[in-house]
Structure 1
Amino acid sequence: MQHHISRTMLAAACAGTALLYGFSLAGTAAAADQATLTLNAAQGSTLAGHTFGVYRIGGYHDAVSSGEAIASFGVRGTTASNAWAQDAIDNYNQAEAEDIDIPLGYDAAGAVASLADTGSAMQIRGIAKALAESSRRPAAAKTVTGSGIQAVVTVEEGYYLVVDSQGAPMLIGTKIDGRSLNGTELGVATVKSKSITVDKRIGADTSSLKDHGSYTVGSVVTQTITTSVPNGKLGGALAWKITDTPSGLVYVKGTLDAELRDGTNVTDLLDAYDSAGAAVPGDESLKDASGARTDPDLTVPEGGFVIDAKRLMAAHPNRQVTLTYQARITTVKASNVAAVTTVFADGTDSTPVRDEDESTSTAYGFDLDKTSFDDPSLKVNGAGFKIFDQDRGQWLSYALSTGQWSDARDQASATEFVTGDTTHDGTVDSRDDAAKAGNLRFDGLGAGTYLIQETTAPEGYSSYDIAIPSLTVTITENGAVTFEGKDLPDLSVDDGDGSVTVANIASLTDLPQTGGAWSALPWILAALAVGGIGLAVVKTGGIIRRGYTRR
């Protein structure tokens, strides 16, 4: 009898499952010609590590043409392949309630192929697994080691089982006389890999992404998760979730964006849960061979999120997707683990496969010790400093309660740090730690270059801005800290251990010894004297100011 399948039905089945089907019909099989099977990796993945065994189930016969395409065809097995197919059908039927029957006029190989038209998704997955595990499986027609993104296997025309060492077994048919089935391409399939990979990155923005970075505590960073969308069609993935678990970071809600490699935005296909402690339901019907759930309920981690990406999996299988979002750094050492869990069909059972990747951030700090230019052993309290991020052009404020930095409106509103003020209340008194006299500690700064500007001179030292030192601090990604004097450079000494000593002068007469432009002070004073203007030298502390007297 003749068994036909409509173009619409088979096109939908092939596109949805990557299984290409044949049908067993009465008649005489034609001599087999050479053809190819093309196995492609999913976008963003490779075939490295995969070994493919290609097993011939049967040959084509009674193909019916429709213009330049094939309208229908039959599949018939050999004695050996039919024994193999029959064994697989028997094993499947013994294990499952939904039997696979052999229609009248079909042999066992043709019955396997006919499941495209008459079988359920469970039957198709189950028979592929049963064929792969059957003790009657014949020798492979070809064995291919995967590499790159594509493998092309030359075989006789026919219908095949492809067993993937790293993925689900696939049923696939070659082209027939170089032609496909009514517009549905035969002989090509995307490998249903059961291995998954995820790449987690962090950066100041999307142009500076890396595995590890150094970012200031309180700053907002960009993070990405890149992975391949699993094949959610027949014989492939059944569930797909992405979990973001941060430590020392907090997801900025509403910033999640997802794009395929070609730029297609697929954010609306993600079901995101970002309320800490919220339950994310799994599919209770998905279980392994022992009956244990393979898609359990999940709980949203503190500061992170869980994404159920099943709708994306159904709409765009085998594509590479990148999730981009922002997070705020809250601690000196921060890390973020992105975990992708996919539940794959394993015949009529299922198996979960998980991969994860981590991005990290480390912030650093340094000590500043204030001394006297005249007596370097003297630890000087009461000097005020502010910090300017030169890379971003921002004065910084600091919240002691959270340890986080933020951008100040201007220098006036930036946080002033006072040497010896260990309680950070703006004054030095008996409540402060005397062992930290003259000391300041700056913590939680990311890699970059900063200006440290003295803004208040300590009591007893010149408060004119021409007598006030400043310096630059450079912090590298690996935490190396170096210092360079800027204004009055000889007053700032890099101690070589991640700390710096900064001196103050008590009198402007010390300026020629401090380095920089002020070594020419005698000539400057002479010029001012000729002009009738003198500098009023003040040795008491206070806010930086200029003082002029008119003669």
Structure 2
Amino acid sequence: MKARNLKRLLGGLAAAATLLAFSPVGAANAAETPITIDPMDPASRVATLTIEGKGSAIKGHSFTALRLGVYMSASKNGDNELTSVSTSSKNADSTGPADEHILPAMKDAYLAASGASSLPAGYEDNVIGAVSKNWLGYASTINTSNEDTTSNSRAKAYDGKLRQFVTNLSGNANVKRRMADTTRDDVATVAGPTSGADTDDMTAQFTGLKGGIYLVVDTTAALSGSSPASIPMLVGTQVTSKDGQSVYDTFADDAANKLGVIKMKSATPTVEKRLIKPSNGAAGIGDELTYQIIASIPLTTGFSHYKYVLTDQPSAGLTYEPDETTVEISNSEIFDTAGSQAVDVPAPTGYEVTPAVGSTPTSGQAITFNLSKVIRLISQGDGTSAHPQYFGSHFIKITYKMRVDDQAVAGNVHNGVKLAYSNDTQKQPDNDNGDDNTAPNQPASEGVIDHTNDPNDPNQPKVYFYNFGIVDQARNNHSTKLDDATFQIKDSDGHVIRFYPVKDANGKVIKGSYKKAADQRDSNTAATTALRRASAPNDAVDGTLTAGQLRFDGLAAGVYTVEETDPPTGYSEISKSTFTVTIDTDAPYSAAAPHYKNGGDVFDLVEANETGWTHAQNPTHFIEVNEVNSISQLPMTGGAGVILVALVVMVLLAGAGGIYVYTRRSEKALGNEG
């Protein structure tokens, strides 16, 4: 039996491949002319199947085509456009070893997809005829049931009975063995280009085929980090006349879609990592950071289980905050308010995040977002408004927070993202969590997109924090460096900042080296606000700080006030310094290249200065603080000179007042005696 009045439409060109599909066509008209076809004539074996797409979908890929049926007859109109084609499974015979029979496999796949107990009457040995009759989306007097007339729609190219038939058939062991025998007449192979850019237009073409319908399977062996093996495809070649001189590839009223052409689009998921707050990466120890992962929703057709696991691997110095993670989907990478919506997480558990809510993560601990359960349901949907189908142009957005912790090292705070995803329907995960297959099943196949190895990858946002230092010295002899002075630092809100003394590898405190504590609460008694370089020799020296030097690390951009609370032994209490330090990362500066400026103190013992500064490992901007051990060493000009004069005048006035009082009292005493 033959299925007649078929019209091909390449549908569903949005993700990995397209199914052969047919759209309605009317009854034959008087202008139709039969095309003489002999599928067994070697002269007619000039049909082709051409796979077209970007390099990311074709480069390095291998494809195998298995003929399922041939064209038996066709007709055309006066414009040499096809008006009808009939198909038969005649050449899908059962000759040869039993384990290579594919007609039984085709029947099994049809019954599994249809749910019927037998093929339609008259089609027992013509499965392709039954597929064409019922599922290729055409309407005629033969197709009275119209079981799947929407198979040429975008959604049905990835679901429905036709898709189920192709998926079931490609997974059959006998079909796999038949396709592995490339010496057979009904099997052909082709490889895509091995070089070129992922954005280049590329093709892979089967040539010398008998005209008919073919199962095309992406048989690429290894695809880690590249486009996954495309979903199995059911496609038709051009129609070739018996003599091989005439080739027809266009249906009437459907010139846009050509027989023999498979249009591929890359199905490689995409993943991007963003630092949202602070957007420029300028932060301090203890600050909270907001990150986003933007990942495309893949096509999961053909998968009963699908792995989709995102991993954030932070450097030491970042700790995940598990209580503030959200997951959304959107039809836009921008995720504006109007375009985004919360994921409808399916019961019972949806996606899983590790470390879980309520746990206590450690510094540098990896975070995994396992969306294996939810991603397949999102991609495939269930046809309801509550669970629509999202894939291709839709994206997952994960928003989460981390905190810069006490293990952070300047210039080395960063984190990237890795995506592991299923890439072969024939090597699927074992369960809904995306776990690998267990024996005796073959190992699951997966692709990996890894943005965790290269610190210069833009998908590894860097976080910068800053430090500055002071050099405490005698004003009258700058070569005399002073220890034992005590300082404190206040933030722009006037809060005194708590620091930890920095220790060497042996746990010994390094003279004068401090790093801001992530925990700024008063209850954190292990941190101190009294910053001092001890003169005692029992502290370690790390080679970067010398006598009189102190360094304060772990600071964010902003304005800080440094106050001297105790001078070195033997130096004046009156002239303790107070000055400001400004770290600016706003344009024209940046987080990687900030600008430093410090204001002078009232005694002019700290000189106002500003300088540009290029980020490097453990950089230090030092500010000179001068100490005096005699009031005469204070400057006599400028602001301090005015204050000094005022102090002298106050002293003199106080002395005069004392003389006056004494005199009056003496006079009074004399008067009392007279």
Same fold (TM > 0.5): yes
Q: What residue in structure 2 maps to residue 250 of structure 1?
A: 319
Alignment of 1:503 with 2:571, yes or no, is no
Distance 1:486 1:187 in 2: 72
In structure 1, stretches of 5+ residues that fail to align are 5-9, 65-69, 181-185, 280-300, 422-427, 538-547
The structural deviation recorded for 1:240 is 1.8
Q: Which residue of 2 aligns with 1:230?
A: 298
Q: Which residue of structure 2 lines up, in the alignment, with residue 519 of structure 1?
A: 638
With over 3 angstroms needed to count, the CA separation of the structure-2 counterparts of 1:535 and 1:190, relative to structure 1, is farther
The question of 1:487 aligning with 2:600 is answered: yes
Task: Look up the equivalent residue of 2:418 and give its one-letter code.
Answer: A
TM-aligned CA deviation for residue 168 of structure 1: 2.1
More off after superposition, 95-104 vs 360-369: 95-104
User: What corresponds to 1:317 in structure 2?
Assistant: 391
Higher mean alpha-carbon deviation, 239-248 vs 132-141, is at: 132-141
> Any idea what SS the aligned residue of 2:376 has?
helix
Whole-angstrom distance in 2 between the partners of 1:111 and 1:549: 119
Distance 1:549 1:217 in 2: 53
Q: Partners of 2:250 and 2:167 in 1: how far apart?
A: 25
Partner of 2:554: 444
Greater CA drift, 234-243 or 316-325: 234-243
Aligned amino acid, residue 341 of structure 2: N
Secondary structure of the corresponding residue to residue 341 of structure 2: coil
Asked if structure 1 preserves the Cα contact closer than 8 Å seen for 2:491 and 2:559, the reply is yes
Do the aligned partners of 1:241 and 1:310 also contact (CA within 8 Å) in 2?
A: no
Q: Report SS of the residue matched to 1:324.
A: strand
2: CA distance, partners of 1:520 / 1:117:
85
Query: Is 1:364–1:479's contact at 8 Å kept on the other side of the alignment?
Result: no
1:415-462 per-residue CA deviation (whole Å, 9 max, x = no partner) reads 7343226xxxxxx9x79749787443322235x354342252526325
Cα separation, partners in 2 of 1:18 and 1:266, compared to 1, 3 Å: farther
- Residues 309 and 105 of structure 1: CA distance in aligned 2, closer, same or farther (over 3 Å): closer
Q: Provide the secondary structure at the position in 2 that maps to 1:167.
A: coil
Match of 2:199 among 138, 148, 151: 148
CA distance in 2, matches of 1:20, 1:394: 68
Q: Which has the higher strand share?
A: 1
**2:606 corresponds to which letter in structure 1?**
L
- Matched residues, percent identical? 16
Other structure's SS at 1:119 match: helix
**Counterpart-to-counterpart distance in 1, 2:351 and 2:64:** 38
Which residue number corresponds to residue 272 of structure 1?
Answer: 352
CA gap 1:523/1:353 in 2 versus in 1, 3 angstroms: closer
Distance 1:151 1:550 in 2: 100
Residue in structure 2 matching 1:384, options 473, 487, 490: 487
Question: Given that residues 290 and 402 in structure 2 are in contact (C-alpha distance below 8 angstroms), is that contact kept between their aligned partners in structure 1?
Answer: yes
The 2-side partners of 1:310 and 1:534 are apart by 82
2:469 paired with 1:419: no
Q: Residues 481 and 117 of structure 1: is their aligned pair in 2 closer, same or farther, counting only changes over 3 Å? A: closer
In 2, Cα distance between the equivalents of 1:320 and 1:335? Answer: 24
Deviation at 1:120, TM superposition (A): 7.3
Corresponding residue SS for 2:162:
helix
Map of 1:298 onto structure 2? none
The CA deviation at 1:277 is: 12
Distance of 1:91 and 1:481 partners within structure 2:
70
Shift of 1:216: 1.9
- In 2, Cα distance between the equivalents of 1:149 and 1:549? 92
Q: Distance in 2 between matches of 1:480 and 1:364?
A: 11
Does the aligned pair in 1 maintain the 2:327–2:399 contact within 8 Å? Answer: yes
Distance 1:387 1:302, change over 3 A: same
Q: How does 1:196-235 map to 2 (within 5 A)?
A: 196-205=269-278, 207-208=279-280, 213=281, 215-234=283-302
Question: In 2, Cα distance between the equivalents of 1:498 and 1:202?
Answer: 26
SS for the counterpart of 1:138 is: strand
Q: Deviations over 1:15-60 (max 9, x none)?
A: 999652469xxxx87999x99989678xxx9548466869695677
Residues 189-213 of structure 1: CA deviation (Å, up to 9, x unaligned): 66464x55533343534x44xxxx5
Cα gap change, 1:203 to 1:237, in 2 (>3 Å): same
Structure 2 unaligned spans of 5+:
23-33, 38-43, 76-81, 112-118, 136-160, 221-226, 237-248, 255-259, 379-389, 428-441, 453-459, 502-514, 614-618, 658-674
Query: Which residue of structure 2 lines up, in the alignment, with residue 370 of structure 1?
Result: 472
- How far apart in 1 are the matches of 2:651 and 2:105? 99
User: Is this contact kept in 1: 2:561–2:581, CA < 8 A?
Assistant: yes
Tell me if structure 1 keeps the 8 A contact 2:65–2:188. Answer: yes
Instruction: Report the CA distance shift for 1:462/1:469 in structure 2 as closer, same or farther (over 3 A).
Output: farther
In the other structure, the counterpart of 1:7 is none
CA-to-partner distance for each residue in 1:80-136, whole Å, 9 max, x for gaps?
xx68x9999965869999965897465686689778287374434458866864504
> Which of 357, 361, 365 in structure 1 is aligned with 2:451?
357
Mean Cα deviation higher: 263-272 or 145-154: 145-154
Task: Give the direction of change, closer, same or farther, for the CA distance of 1:227–1:178 in structure 2 (3 Å limit).
Answer: farther
User: Which amino acid in 2 is paired with 1:444?
Assistant: G
Q: What secondary structure sits across from 1:254 in the alignment?
A: strand
Verify the 8 A CA contact 2:106 2:169 in the aligned structure 1: no
Q: 1:526-541 counterparts in 2 under 5 A?
A: 534=649
The 3 A distance-change label for structure 1 pair 438 and 232 is same
Offset of 1:326 from its aligned partner? Answer: 1.1
For 1:361 and 1:458, locate their aligned partners in 2 and report how far apart those are by CA, in whole Å. 35
Q: Would you say the 8 A contact 2:11–2:18 is kept in 1?
A: no
Cα distance change of structure 1 residues 159 and 167 upon mapping to structure 2, 3 Å threshold? farther
Deviation at 1:379, TM superposition (A): 0.8
1:156-195 alpha-carbon deviations (Å, 9 max, x no partner) = 9975537485432431547972668xxxxx98866464x5
Alpha-carbon distance between aligned partners in 1 of 2:521 and 2:58, rounded to the nearest angstrom: 51
2:309 corresponds to which of 237, 241, 254: 241
Distance 1:433 1:168 in 2: 62
Q: Report if aligned partners of 1:396, 1:407 keep a CA contact under 8 Å in 2.
A: no
Determine if contact 2:320/2:367 at 8 Å carries over to the other structure.
Answer: yes
Task: Report SS of the residue matched to 2:311.
Answer: strand
* Distance change (3 Å), C-alpha of 1:480 and 1:375: farther
CA contact (8 A) 1:457 1:468 kept: no
Q: Deviations over 1:491-530 (max 9, x none)?
A: 35899972523223456665547xxxx626556777x69x
Q: TM-score, normalised by structure 2?
A: 0.52
In 2, the alpha carbon distance for the partners of 1:481 and 1:190 equals 48
Determine the C-alpha separation between the residues in 2 that align with 1:38 and 1:394: 68
Per-residue CA distance 1:365-386 (angstroms, 9 max, x = gap): 4443322222331414233231
Shift of 1:481: 8.3
- The amino acid across from 1:138 in the alignment is A
Quick one: structure 1 residues 381 and 134, their matched pair in 2 at CA, closer, same or farther if it must change by over 3 Å? same
Q: 1:520 to 1:352 in 2, by over 3 A?
A: closer
CA RMSD of aligned residues (A): 6.1
More displaced stretch, 254-263 vs 432-441: 432-441
TM-aligned CA distance change 1:453 to 1:90, over 3 Å? same
1:458 counterpart residue number: 567
**Letter aligned with residue 168 of structure 1:** A
Contact 1:219–1:329 (8 Å) recurs in 2: yes
Structure 2: distance between partners of 1:322 and 1:372: 58
Moved more, 89-98 or 237-246: 89-98
Aligned residues: 471
Cα gap change, 1:250 to 1:405, in 2 (>3 Å): closer
Aligned partner letter, 1:340: L
